[in-house]
Structure 1
Amino acid sequence: MSQLPNDFALSNLSRRGFLKGVGATSALVLVASWGWQDAFAAEKEKKFFGADGMPNGWIDDPKVYVSIAADGIVTVVCNRSEMGQGVRTSLTMVVADELEADWAMMKVQQAPGDEVRFGNQDTDGSRSMRHWYEPMRRCGAAARTMLEQAAANQWKVPVSECHAQLHKVIHKPSGRELGYGALAAAAGALAVPARDSLRLKQPSEFRYIGKEGTRAIDGADIVNGRAIYGADVHFDGMLYATIARPAVYGGKVKSVDSSAAMKVPGVIKVVQIEGHPLPSEFQPLGGVAVVASNTWAAIKGREALKIEWDDGPNASYDSIAYRKEIEAASLKPGKVVRNTGNIDEAMGSANSTLEASYYLPHLTQAPMEPMVAIARFKDGVCEAWAPSQAPQVSRERIGERLGIPFDNVTFNVTLLGGGFGRKSKPDFIIEAAILAKEFPGKAVRVQWTREDDIHCSYFHTVSAEYLKASLNKDGLPSGWLHRTVAPSITALFAPGMNHEAAFELGMGFTNMAYAIPNVRLENPEAAIHTRVGWYRSVSNIPHGFAIQSFVDELAHKAGQDPLKYQIKLLGPDRQIDPRTLSEEWNYGESPERYPIDTARMRTVLETAAKAAGWGRELPKGRGLGLAVHYSFVTYVAAVIEVEVKDDGTLIVHKTDIAVDCGPQINPERIRAQFEGACVMGLGNAVLGEISFKDGKVQQDNFHMYEVARMSLAPKEVAVHLVTPLGNVPLGGVGEPGVPPIAPALCNAIFAATGKRIRDLPVRYQLQGWQKAQA
């Protein structure tokens, strides 16, 4: 089968043909692969931003990304992982628009893991569209230009007389037409035009970008079951494995008796996997694998194992005790990360002060599709298939663990049944590769159960937040002290990393933009005792909850309307260089291109409030709460209307969400992201909790780690897309919808009941909640 061709003529793009010949080397370390340069770098000044600052950057070559078959079918290669956010549709829309293609003739092909060929592939940080919108526009425009030139050459006319329109090139003077399929081979033989020579469309010319009604490019396959997710990959003779992993972070196998497991029909072999020394990075936990001819045999075989564990240094980790530890730390001075004015003087001269503490437990991503990976190893070559957010890093880690060259690893990305940050870690993929090496030539599938997923995740960090404000005669803060205490993701990579990294603090903490003259932000130490990792919106969750809850408390203490109080706190409309807030990271974006704009913050507040009917009279037991948050260079405000009955039953009647994410590429998918974020945020706030005792997770499955059901979901969710004034760049949309939901909910509960909620989950705070939901 032929490899991906260097021209546009493509009659049969098979998966294996697409993969053949793909390979690239990389010397990037894991930290750089996730954009963590700031967390460890000695120098703070960054030279590159956005896609330019990511490993392997971006590619805009149409010969890499666009293929046109003789029948006119256009195949666009998508280099980002699809997990329900619609990136395969949205990136294809961008190419199709500039290409002047007929959407009915568009197809999408998933790129394998190869960043040298396809540019950065890390699907995280809500940055796929903001990093790839412009390169994909240029890609489509270049392909259109080449098609027009090919037609001009065939007709022997000036190219200025040729115009691409809806999948054909038209010679304007004569009316002659040629379809894209007829021109593909000739166009592919031409040189790619220089970037500065391309004519990009004006927004008024867009056919798909920003428009409603474009069907999801793979929606039909997903609905009818043809789409391939991780567990759908199958090979004749494939083996299946489950793994008994240490329940405590850093635990090891002391001894194992596999005799009973080997008697289970279908069990083929029991393999011990070595874990990675602490800190564990994103490597497997280790344990004992049972390999069988079918999944059920592997599961039953695992149950029959008799393992004695050495639980290691984290065997005493206890959520109740640890909460007391970090809450105590939050009440003492810590590492100062931002210091403006004189906070001590402001506190000493205040008319009054207000202080409050907030607590958020661990969460887990719990995607609907548990971890699964397939690998095949033979003659020093490994090929893997998995639902991964980070294919390049997965290739690197497989090669390192198996001791084979990077070029000898091929990685295929399937659709993801949810990701939320969990599938950016390659531990489960490495497990499959390790076991595949035990069975040369055989495909081996490692299947996690829901219990595996909940017990052995990379959990969202636990957090204690302490805030204190000094108030002037107008009830506004003259001083603001905030301490955040949470284990850092970076502690998985370097011993003693007990302070949060710059990228974690830059998520709603250091970049707090209220117009307060005296500000001190501190970060006391917190040791890590379990694996922590990305969760949708990451550290914005605790920071947003604490700040937006506290602002609501300040408004009520001052006897002022929370909306008007928020707008006063924002101060005059201005664009803030985040570096003046001691914020160097700025989501990896240029501070000049992406300043923090308080006018945009105010606008989303006013938009959501107006849509919700803020200020109207409500019946007894009902309340409106609002919150606003800036994350992933997008501005989001939420207003939630709740009803709390006398027995504690909570009903969410409506949520209004206003979003300013800059230009809107695919409005339908943007709304879907924020609708989903709303339900996820409510589930986190009301139900979400992972707790530890004796180092072990106490939850097992969805009966113990509950997610939002229909009874908790709002009766109505309205997402209002705000069109910003002026020429602003794209923001993110996958994650920014989560942070304002919990504080808006709790502020609404206070408005309805007078009960202030500072600790999550909410279910422990409302009398009769559990009984009412039984």
Structure 2
Amino acid sequence: MFLEDIGIIPSRKKDRVPADRPASIVNLTRRGFVTGTGLFVVAVTLAGCSNTEPTIDASTMKIPKAGPSPLTEVEGGDATPSLWIAIEKDGTVKITCHRSEMGQQVWTSMAQIIADELEADWENVEIVQAEGHERYGDQNTDGSRSVRYNFHRLRLAGAAMRQMLVAAAALYWKMDPSRCSAEMGKVSNSENGDTLSYGNLAELAAKLQVPAESEIVLKKPEDWRFINKEIPSVTVPKITRGEGTYGIDVNVPDMVYAVIARPPQVFGRTGAVTDAKALAVPGVMRTVKLPDAKPPALFQPLGGVAVVGVDTWAAIQGRNALEVEWMDGPNAGYDSDNFRKAMEAKAKQPGTVRRSRGNVGTALATADKTVTAEYYTPHLSQSPMEPPAATARWTGDQLECWACVQDPQATRQTLSDLLDVDKENITVHATWLGGAFGRKSKPDFVVEAALVAREVGKPVKVTWTREDEIRHGFYHSTSAQRLEAGLDSEGKCTAYRHRSVFPPIGSTFNAATDAPSDGEMGMGATDVPFAIPNLQVESGTAKGHLRIGWLRSVANIYHAFAVQSFAAELANAAGRDQKDYLLELIGEPRLVDPNAEQASYGNYGGSAEDYPVDTARLANVGRRAAEMAEWGRELPDGHGLGIAVHRSFLTYVATVIEVKVAADGALTIPGIWLAADAGTVINPRHTKAQMEGGTIFGLSNALYGEISARDGAVVQDNFPSWRVMRMNEAPKIFEVEIIASNSPPAGVGEPPTPPAAPALANAIFNATGKRFRTLPLMGANRDTLDIPAISAR
């Protein structure tokens, strides 16, 4: 997500061009499109011609002058290399993807959008990964917004190219463009059926003026060839053949390898270093002491000592032999258990009001029944299957890096800032990412590689081990929440107060920051959609003692867990079915505006007009998921169903989970049913995969995820102590339904994660009668739930 969305840096919303805002399309020398304000660039080169069809000499063609036709004469000259879409003389369409590919299939989805409007032959489409540079606009692959921020722009670019190719063919055939049409990489005419390939038309089309946006005709949804179709991934075949390049795969001539011993505490310092034993390890070349980190954390490395070797194994063995005296920093006393108690105490006190409706205090005091519950979630680690890895090479004052980063442009800026090098002298290549989940948006590991490479005078690959990744990451924030509600004599909720306390992400960028941003509170707290007459959301303060960063779905994880679990608790207190009561809380179809109730709600950067908080859509996915699961059916003993709904990143998701809990507390998950409304979906196949993966990610965290700290240092170090969900624990039934929608595209990578934990907890309560309000439910060292005996549902 955007840093400014969570209040870390000043807003630059004027620089963002939502999908609904008009885009200007202009020439860039040979041919190009600049959309929006110019920060997001789509450049198209149409060059070359084919020898397999009649040769078209563009220089002899008569180009229409400005007038009734949108096509105007453009001066010739040398072509500028393409930045976005290039049609080559053999008809190949090369699309430059400015976002990072990390398994979310952004290469495929962006190509689908362009190729559809362009009427390209899918077999002739190739993807090129962009390097980090301002010419590509926003390259931050985060916040589930790659498609929704670019959908309209990419359609315009593809459609404009198609119209220019059609116009070029009409010029060649000397006929009206209305008698020509494009299909699958060719233009044909209705007069004699002749066809010309895009490759053959490219040079002539490059000389035509780009049509104005008002003259660009986009295809109707019913005519889409690739959009909203289950097009196979363009990356999976490469992965299975071993052709993709991940951060760990990079290999440059004369390269050496490094691993780093880092201080156990954030802002801990490196004292005396004895490296004699490390240097005695075969293959170890030298050690390099890195600068100590100082607050604020930002994206700077943590410091420590790099061990450089002829290969990674030698470097690891050398690090094992290294003797370092670590000196305490300001976070030496951090104990996550004690911190939990402090947060829980804070949650019991009045906080800063972030949204208010009615009079909650009076309504609670006069309620026929009150319900109070407290919820706790620990720190979490992103733990992508590929830990961070980066390679750096210096050539004089020129720095070139290859790394598995989510934002190569921000990486380039960070390198410039921390190394005091002109940004124009830095090149950053984004490799494929073996998962990321927010961790690889922080390029500290790339800076490490650059620092070591500059010191040793050779290209250096820095590899993080799993232990490094778990002990020295940017962690999801721990949280304590307290919810109170008042019910009337009929069980209807008349008052609702939610207090949320957690160290904010802003503490990573300003060590003094202890209050959550509006963006964090707007992830499941201030945007709660309940139709309760008296409602208040408050926040408390908490300081960060670890590096707090983004993790898939961010603050939605702990807010959804508390809010959706509490909804089920209210249903139980009212003697009602949890699904029916949840729908009653959501209320009648309406559009919710948190800003009308003293909230400062950013709506994930989407306009309220295109992306309103729509309770009809939220209730609809809830009803549909319940139908899919056959809600209300008779369940065997020890089984239970739980439901949770949540809107995040502008997408509506409902999850129903069935659990089976044995008498000894052994837990299995027979089935999951999920309904999602993500607006216009580019690839249903990949969207379903994201829904499945995001849910499993959420369940893994809910069952086992816990990062704890003692004396300022992270306790967990690898998968035995940081357990993740295993294949045999996945449900045998997992049904996903993508609700058809005419709304604009919304996010799909993160929305399935938040409802997973509360749906699971609600199902366990339905099966056992025991309510779990603390995550994880089991943890790395347990295999069963803490349930002495199963009670009746």
- TM surpasses 0.5: yes
Matching residue of 1:226:
243
Please give the TM-score of this superposition, normalised by the length of structure 2.
0.90
Matching residue of 1:79:
98
2:615 aligned with 1:598: yes
After superposition, the C-alpha distances for 1:48-86 in whole angstroms (9 at most, x for unaligned) are 664789997433443431112222111111111110000
Is contact 1:147–1:184 with CA below 8 Å preserved after alignment? yes
CA distance in 2, matches of 1:578, 1:771: 39
After superposition, the C-alpha distances for 1:103-128 in whole angstroms (9 at most, x for unaligned) are 1111111011113x112110000000
2:112 aligned with 1:93: yes
Q: 2:423 aligns with which of 381, 403, 406?
A: 406
Matching residue of 1:622:
639
- Give the residue type in structure 2 aligned to 1:307: V
Give aligned-pair identity as a percent. 46
- Give the residue type in structure 2 aligned to 1:430: V
Matching residue of 1:204:
222
After superposition, the C-alpha distances for 1:303-332 in whole angstroms (9 at most, x for unaligned) are 111100112111111121111111111111
Is contact 1:464–1:486 with CA below 8 Å preserved after alignment? yes
Partner SS for 1:484: strand
2:147 aligned with 1:129: yes
Partner SS for 1:130: coil
CA distance in 2, matches of 1:268, 1:167: 55
Partner SS for 1:769: coil
CA distance in 2, matches of 1:300, 1:69: 50
Partner SS for 2:673: strand
Matching residue of 1:19:
none
| Structure 1 segments of 4+ aligned residues over 6 angstroms from their partners | 41-47, 51-56, 765-768
2:25 aligned with 1:34: no
Cα drift, residue 474 of structure 1: 2.2
- Give the residue type in structure 1 aligned to 2:160: A
After superposition, the C-alpha distances for 1:569-603 in whole angstroms (9 at most, x for unaligned) are 11110112342241421111112221100000010
Listed as ranges, the matches of 1:489-568 within 5 Å are 489-568=505-584
Matching residue of 2:447:
430
Matching residue of 2:325:
308
Matching residue of 2:790:
none
Is contact 1:377–1:439 with CA below 8 Å preserved after alignment? no
Partner SS for 1:253: strand
Matching residue of 1:487:
503
Cα drift, residue 261 of structure 1: 1.4
Partner SS for 2:158: helix
Matching residue of 1:729:
744
Is contact 2:723–2:780 with CA below 8 Å preserved after alignment? no
CA distance in 1, matches of 2:12, 2:203: 49
CA distance in 2, matches of 1:159, 1:295: 61
Partner SS for 1:235: coil
Is contact 2:502–2:516 with CA below 8 Å preserved after alignment? yes
CA distance in 2, matches of 1:510, 1:282: 29
Consecutive unaligned residues in structure 1, runs of 5 or more: 1-32
CA distance in 1, matches of 2:461, 2:14: 41
2:403 aligned with 1:386: yes
Partner SS for 2:7: helix
After superposition, the C-alpha distances for 1:322-359 in whole angstroms (9 at most, x for unaligned) are 11111111111111111221111101110010000001
CA distance in 2, matches of 1:45, 1:138: 22
If each structure's helix is expressed as a fraction of its own residues, which one has the higher value? Answer: 1
Q: 1:114 aligns with which of 124, 128, 133?
A: 133
CA distance in 2, matches of 1:361, 1:55: 41
CA distance in 2, matches of 1:423, 1:48: 23
- Distance change (3 Å), C-alpha of 1:508 and 1:50: farther
- Give the residue type in structure 2 aligned to 1:39: G
Listed as ranges, the matches of 1:255-654 within 5 Å are 255-440=272-457, 442-581=458-597, 582-654=599-671
CA distance in 1, matches of 2:654, 2:561: 13
Partner SS for 2:300: coil
Matching residue of 1:23:
none
CA distance in 2, matches of 1:747, 1:712: 18
- Distance change (3 Å), C-alpha of 1:315 and 1:552: same
CA distance in 2, matches of 1:699, 1:193: 58
Q: 1:742 aligns with which of 757, 762, 783?
A: 757
Is contact 2:3–2:9 with CA below 8 Å preserved after alignment? no
- Give the residue type in structure 2 aligned to 1:59: V
Partner SS for 1:522: strand
CA distance in 2, matches of 1:54, 1:491: 33
Matching residue of 1:239:
256
Cα drift, residue 156 of structure 1: 2.1
CA distance in 2, matches of 1:47, 1:408: 25
Please give the TM-score of this superposition, normalised by the length of structure 1.
0.92
Q: 1:694 aligns with which of 686, 708, 711?
A: 711
2:198 aligned with 1:180: yes
After superposition, the C-alpha distances for 1:181-203 in whole angstroms (9 at most, x for unaligned) are 21222223333322221110000
CA distance in 1, matches of 2:310, 2:503: 41
Listed as ranges, the matches of 1:136-151 within 5 Å are 136-151=154-169
Partner SS for 1:76: strand
Is contact 1:578–1:591 with CA below 8 Å preserved after alignment? no
Partner SS for 1:569: helix
Aligned length in residues: 735
- Give the residue type in structure 2 aligned to 1:642: V
Consecutive unaligned residues in structure 2, runs of 5 or more: 22-34, 46-82, 788-793
CA distance in 2, matches of 1:366, 1:151: 53
Is contact 2:355–2:594 with CA below 8 Å preserved after alignment? no
- Distance change (3 Å), C-alpha of 1:49 and 1:79: closer
After superposition, the C-alpha distances for 1:619-646 in whole angstroms (9 at most, x for unaligned) are 1100000000010011000000110011
After superposition, the C-alpha distances for 1:188-232 in whole angstroms (9 at most, x for unaligned) are 3333322221110000110011112x1111221111111111111
- Distance change (3 Å), C-alpha of 1:55 and 1:488: farther
